[in-house]
A and B are shown apart, each in its own frame.
Chain A
Amino acid sequence: DAGVIQSPRHEVTEMGQEVTLRCKPISGHDYLFWYRQTMMRGLELLIYFNNNVPIDDSGMPEDRFSAKMPNASFSTLKIQPSEPRDSAVYFCASTNSGSSIQFFGPGTRLTVL
């Protein structure tokens, strides 16, 4: 298995633009997590899905952030409009109910100018 796949790996955009981050979890995993990592705040859980259904989105900072999981093999995290304070590394992770080991993707480094 290729592991958790995220795209793009790097994104540089201007304030006000829409940003879409993509994630493909490991096949067979039924949990998918979106995290954000910054120097100031460390690693924060934004939202997670179980069987494609959002379970807890209490970590989503504000209405500008939205996440979807239309099927078991794909999820998106969208920021609209983006702001400089959204600059961070965004990680996607997946796991299954059995093993419980979370596997992380390589992350998307987002810079909002």
Chain B
Amino acid sequence: KQEVTQIPAALSVPEGENLVLNCSFTDSAIYNLQWFRQDPGKGLTSLLLIQSSQREQTSGRLNASLDKSSGRSTLYIAASQPGDSATYLCAVRTNAGKSTFGDGTTLTVKP
């Protein structure tokens, strides 16, 4: 059974800092890994998708990496802004289509 862990559970940083969120998974036989953002009381917004054959994906200030062999992914946020405050979730998907989510990291960026 796939298990997904996100560390830390919460993170608070001053505006402008670069930061890294971590996601680890137990079964490396994945199809892809997706990072989401969730604002309080809202749905999930897709940020980045990394296919199992890829090592990283970038979108603006966000960079996600994937190391299947070690069962790890990181989400790097450069020059953080207060608007980045949200909960960030990673989801690992199997070849059969099933996704398992981590519990998320709640990020607070202080102005």
B58 in contact (CB, < 8 A) = no
Q: Does A56 contact B (CB under 8 A)?
A: yes
B residues near A, CB below 8 A?
Answer: 31-32, 34, 36, 42-46, 49, 51, 89, 91, 93, 96-104
9 A-B residue pairs with Cβ-Cβ distance under 8 Å, sorted by A, are: A35-B101, A42-B103, A43-B89, A43-B101, A44-B101, A45-B100, A48-B98, A104-B46, A107-B42
Please pick, from A48, A91, A107, the residue contacting B97 in the complex, using a CB distance under 8 A: A48
Given A31-B97, A43-B101, decide whether A91 and B43 contact each other with a Cβ distance below 8 A. Answer: yes
Interface of A is mostly: strand
Complex interface: chain B residues within 8 A of A106 (CB): 42-43
Bound form: Cα–Cα A89–B10 in Å: 21
Q: Does A100 contact B (CB under 8 A)?
A: yes
